[in-house]
Amino acid sequence: MKILFIGDIVGRPGRRAVRQLVPVLRHQFDLGLVVANGENMAGGSGVTGETARELFEAGVDVITTGDHVWDQKESFDALAVEPRLLRPLNYPSGVPGHGSFVLERAGKPTVAVLNLQGRTFMQALENPFAVAQAEVPRLRERAKIILVDIHAEATSEKIALGRMLDGQVSAVIGTHTHVQTADEQIFPGGTAFLCDAGFTGPHESVIGREIKPVISRFLTNLPQRFEVADKRVFLQGAMITVDDATGLALKIERVSEAMLGSD
């Protein structure tokens, strides 16, 4: 099976790139699973039911999120009713939504997606390592192919989680920093890893936002309105080839595709 993981989708430009490119990539590579991090897809921050439906209609199977998942008030209702829209599993019990999803389809291997959030330089949630140790065996009872999105700031935390899960999951892909790293690899146990998938949206920007207000904020420390930029739109992420019988990764490649017509 070939899996496409799409890095953080930023605003309307990122959603446009998904609508344009995902159907093409699904056909070109005969993709068996498309997972996208959508925590910034609504207005540049947060998620809504409408933006989630837009991605599902474009060919995304499961949407993961992260620390901005609650930035839109509509996100609470969307997460409560749509099991394919995930929030990090290591939020406390009682929080709306789910942190993992098992996708079963006739004639295709069953796959599972697990969403976790790091704690280093981020808000204090439950320990993602302990949560993963409990959840992965449960998911393996239903699916050999498991993809993990670790939404975290620190590279060491992402790498450590990937090493801990090596041989137990198909891939551990990092999100959150919006800067695609060049460390794609397959660990000795057969788990594909990439520290950060990058972001899907306008790259003539500062991680998706208009350049001048961000520079002004760094110069003055005064509040600024960070509008989503709109030029040089790319879809970034990773393509993972997985052995259907074992669930272990055979290949991982970075993806960086320009949207047609993007300046």
Catalytic residue among 27, 68, 176, 178: 68
Q: What whole-number distance in Å separates Cα of residue 108 and Cα of residue 104?
A: 8
Burial 162-184 (b: 16+ CB within 10 A, else e): bebbbebbbbbbbbbbbebeeeb
With CA atoms as reference, report the closest residue to 258 among 213, 205, 209, 202: 202
Q: What whole-number distance in Å separates Cα of residue 30 and Cα of residue 6?
A: 16
Would you tell me how many other CB atoms lie within 10 Å of the CB of residue 106? 4
Amino acid sitting at position 74: E
For residue 98, indicate whether it is catalytic: no
Q: Phi, psi at residue 137, to the nearest 5°?
A: -60, -35
Please give the positions annotated as active site: 68
